[in-house]
Amino acid sequence: MLTKKQHELLIFINERIQDDGVSPSFDEMKDAFNLKSKSGIHRLITGLEERGFIRRLPHRARALEVLRLPETAAVGAGEVKEFPGNAGPNIIQGDFRAARVAGGGPKDAVELPLYGRIAAGTPIEALRDHSNHVDVPAAMLGRGEYYALEVDGDSMVDAGIFDGDTVLIERGESADSGAIVVALVDEAEVTLKRLRKKGDSIALEPANKAYETRIFGPDRVKVQGKLVGLLRQY
């Protein structure tokens, strides 16, 4: 699964290779996507490479090779098919209702909306899906508004959060330093990480030594909720 910006960049790179026989430079990609610096392009390229859509060819300038295109792309035509209605900007939004008692479940169960998959590694989409819900013991929740997300990745394993777990999130726009949060980065990517604050900087810290802590300015990260619990099936 790709974020909308990753998808658009992949199509842009593929079209340029088809037209010019060479991939665009990072400066050209930055200008095409109206970004202020190349760091955002580097992050998108890394995400595409990790997902197996492109590879970097060593010791060559403009050395990007498209390995495959997503199913939503018209291969070879340089056109993108229309996104499904719920695949718009990959920002968690919509029906953050207060938890309600599940109609068909146990009396002490609460029904929460289950939204997409949240990356506990490289950020990916977390898209709303009104058709899916999960029953949660009422004792796990307080009086706030909650939603659930399925974890995709292993960057939080040392915090006891594993691939396939369902995390319970209390909706909110602030969290204390040290809390595990759902963070929206650059209005485009959503990830589950531990929040660290120092001065004007915000760090999103994994709980796995194989991953690096990412540091941002305060205007680049928005908290969309904090972790309050998780569910796991064996």
Q: What is the DSSP track for 185-201?
A: ETTTEEEEEEEEEETTE
Give CA–CA dist 213/215, Å, rounded: 7
Give CA–CA dist 66/80, Å, rounded: 16
Looking at the chain, how many residues does it have?
234
Buried b (16+ CB within 10 A) or exposed e, 173-200: eebeeeebbbbbbbebbbbbbbbeeeee
- Per the annotation, the verdict on 5 as an active-site residue is no
Beta bridge partners of residue 221, listed in sequence order: 185
Residue 163: which of 154, 155, 172, 175 has the closest Cα?
Answer: 154
- Per the annotation, the verdict on 39 as an active-site residue is no
* Selected catalytic residue, list 5, 23, 30, 155: 155
* Selected catalytic residue, list 5, 30, 193, 222: 193
Q: Looking at the annotation, which residues are catalytic? A: 155, 193
